[in-house]
Amino acid sequence: MVQTYSQKANHNMRRPVVKEEVLHYMRTRQKQLDDPLKSLEDFAHQENIPIIQPEVVAYFRFLLEVLNPQSILEIGTAIGFSTLLMADCAPQASITTIDRNEEMIALAKDNFARYDIRQQIELIEGDAINILPTLEDGYDFVFMDSAKSKYIVFLPEVLQRLQVGGIIVIDDVFQGGDLTKPIQEVRRGQRTIYRGLQRLMKATLNNPGLTTSLLPLSDGLLMVRKNSSEITLLD
Ligand SMILES: C[S@@+](CC[C@H](N)C(=O)[O-])C[C@H]1O[C@@H](n2cnc3c(N)ncnc32)[C@H](O)[C@@H]1O
């Protein structure tokens, strides 16, 4: 039994930003997972471990097959579900993934030992804030799926290591819609995340060095393309 997550954790995952019936359609009508990813998804749901939702899985399949990235960085491995999905969709890519939670790291290691059949994945243990400065440059696809208040903190390091033309996908950026409200209407315990996400939007959405797009998939994806070698983040 996994200790890290409880049934009460991640309440924004249960606040869809599109109509329930549209969500149901997206989750049931698109191609379903096969094993081993299906079993990993079932395990994550059973243990309340937050992993990307089926509509994001379908979108990642499409996106990665189109982009054909060679060098992927992921911040937030959990049990390695999204890592193994990316390995499956981009079989030629090498993937670096970072996590700091010991319980998740142990599960991810076990899953990579079994299912990383092409040995594409390197798991780096520790806080991304300490790991990012030690990484080499040259990623062409980055998936940020970790502590939401920290996306804005990680972003400068990530952009520095991203090739021009490279893409960052940032998960869970709408806070179940709270992002659209004044801060007084947001639960006190959620306000640090709210402030971090507001800073993230301000730094990126109208930045002349970036092309961005917000997608209402799951709790919202922020897509960022790096258009030039020098990016100044707006504060
Ligand atoms: C939402 S889960 C990742 C799910 C995974 N990407 C998937 O879809 O299968 C978030 C993970 O990020 C990790 N995490 C959060 N903040 C982190 C940080 N500052 N450094 C490293 N890992 C972090 C947590 O330990 C957790 O395992």
Q: Output the pLDDT for position 6.
A: 72
Six-digit token string for 94: 């090498």
Return the CA Rg of the chain.
17
168 is in an annotated binding site: no
Q: How many CB atoms lie within 10 A of CB 175?
A: 22
**Spatial separation of the C-alpha atoms in residues 199 and 170, rounded to whole Å:** 14
Q: How many CB atoms lie within 10 A of CB 161?
A: 19
**Spatial separation of the C-alpha atoms in residues 177 and 62, rounded to whole Å:** 26
Ligand 1 centroid distance, CA of 198 (Å): 20
Domain 11-226 - what CATH class?
alpha beta
**Spatial separation of the C-alpha atoms in residues 113 and 232, rounded to whole Å:** 40
The arithmetic mean of pLDDT across residues 36-53, rounded, is 96
Q: How many CB atoms lie within 10 A of CB 3?
A: 7
Ligand 1 centroid distance, CA of 178 (Å): 21
Close Cβ partners of 110 (under 8 Å, ≥ 6 residues apart): none
Residue 41 CB–ligand 1 contact under 6 Å: no
Q: Output the pLDDT for position 205.
A: 97
Residue 177, pLDDT > 70, answer yes
Which pairs count as long-range contacts for 3-12, CB under 8 Å and 24+ apart, including other chains? Answer: 3/103, 4/49, 4/101, 4/103, 4/104, 5/47, 5/48, 5/49, 5/50, 6/48, 7/48, 9/48, 9/50, 10/48, 10/50, 11/176, 12/172, 12/174, 12/175, 12/176, 12/178, 12/219
110 is in an annotated binding site: no
**Spatial separation of the C-alpha atoms in residues 205 and 213, rounded to whole Å:** 8
**Spatial separation of the C-alpha atoms in residues 228 and 157, rounded to whole Å:** 15
Residue 12 CB–ligand 1 contact under 6 Å: no
pLDDT band for position 3 (50/70/90)? confident
Residue 89, pLDDT > 80, answer yes
pLDDT in tens, 146-172: 999 999 999 999 999 999 999 999 999
